[in-house]
């Protein structure tokens, strides 16, 4: 899919169903199809329902400490999203007063067209304005491409942690940008 143009805008409550579907699709394309992580099916189903279900997405959008943006086509198809809020990473120097980039994903068909860069710029701008200090993020240890992108934005690896998906634990890196 070649995207000739896209718009970045804040997600709104009317986006819940489409954003929930986008989050699920992007997660599956990245970690199941792309990296082939063999999550146990029952654990994966619970994780997906909790993390990307409409109730969770609606709660994120309603939380004033969080912000979510979507990239969409002229006809309203959601292509990508970014979600930020107070840092919750398990690092001794991290605090909820600092910002975290929770998620930044584009569906596979929309990658490589500048959408991720546009979302990153909006998300970092919002965090810098509202949560002064370092910006944090967690990234899967096997996602070299994402790590390279974050490094270009000045993020450095400062720790490790386990991201739990039921009985499965992904090895994750903690990155920080001063």
Residue 58 has pLDDT above 60, yes or no: yes
Mean local confidence (pLDDT), 144-154: 96
Which pLDDT tens digit goes with each residue over 63-90? 999 999 999 998 899 999 999 999 999 9
Which has the minimum average pLDDT: 15-19, 74-78, 97-101? 74-78
Structure tokens at 16: 């819940």
The whole-angstrom separation of Cα 25 and Cα 86 is 25
pLDDT of residue 60: 97
b/e burial code for range 67-86 (CB count within 10 A of at least 16 → b): bbbbbbeeeeebbbbbbbbb
pLDDT of residue 112: 86
- Percent of the chain topping pLDDT 70: 98
3 state DSSP class of 140? strand
Strand order in the sheet with 156-165: 7-10, 67-72, 78-86, 99-106, 135-140, 168-177, 156-165
The answer to whether 174 and 136 are in contact (CB under 8 A) is: yes
pLDDT of residue 171: 97
pLDDT of residue 12: 97
Summary mean pLDDT of the chain: 95
Residue 2 has pLDDT above 60, yes or no: no
């Amino acid at each position: 899919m070649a995207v000739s143009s896209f718009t970045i805008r804040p997600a709104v409550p009317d986006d819940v169903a489409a954003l929930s579907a986008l989050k699920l699709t992007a997660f599956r394309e990245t970690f199941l199809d792309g990296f082939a992580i063999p999550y146990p099916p029952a654990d994966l189903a619970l994780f997906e329902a909790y993390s990307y279900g409409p109730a969770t997405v609606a709660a994120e959008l309603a939380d004033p400490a969080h912000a979510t943006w979507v990239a969409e086509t002229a006809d309203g198809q959601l292509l990508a999203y970014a979600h930020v809020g107070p840092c919750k990473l398990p690092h001794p120097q991290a605090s909820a007063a600092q910002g975290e980039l929770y998620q930044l994903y584009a569906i596979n068909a929309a990658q490589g067209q500048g959408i991720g860069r546009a979302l990153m710029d909006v998300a970092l701008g919002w965090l810098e304005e509202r949560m002064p200090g370092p910006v944090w993020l967690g990234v899967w240890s096997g996602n070299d491409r994402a790590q390279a992108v974050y490094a270009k934005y000045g993020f450095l690896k400062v720790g490790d942690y386990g991201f739990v998906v039921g009985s499965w634990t992904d090895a994750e890196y903690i990155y920080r940008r001063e």
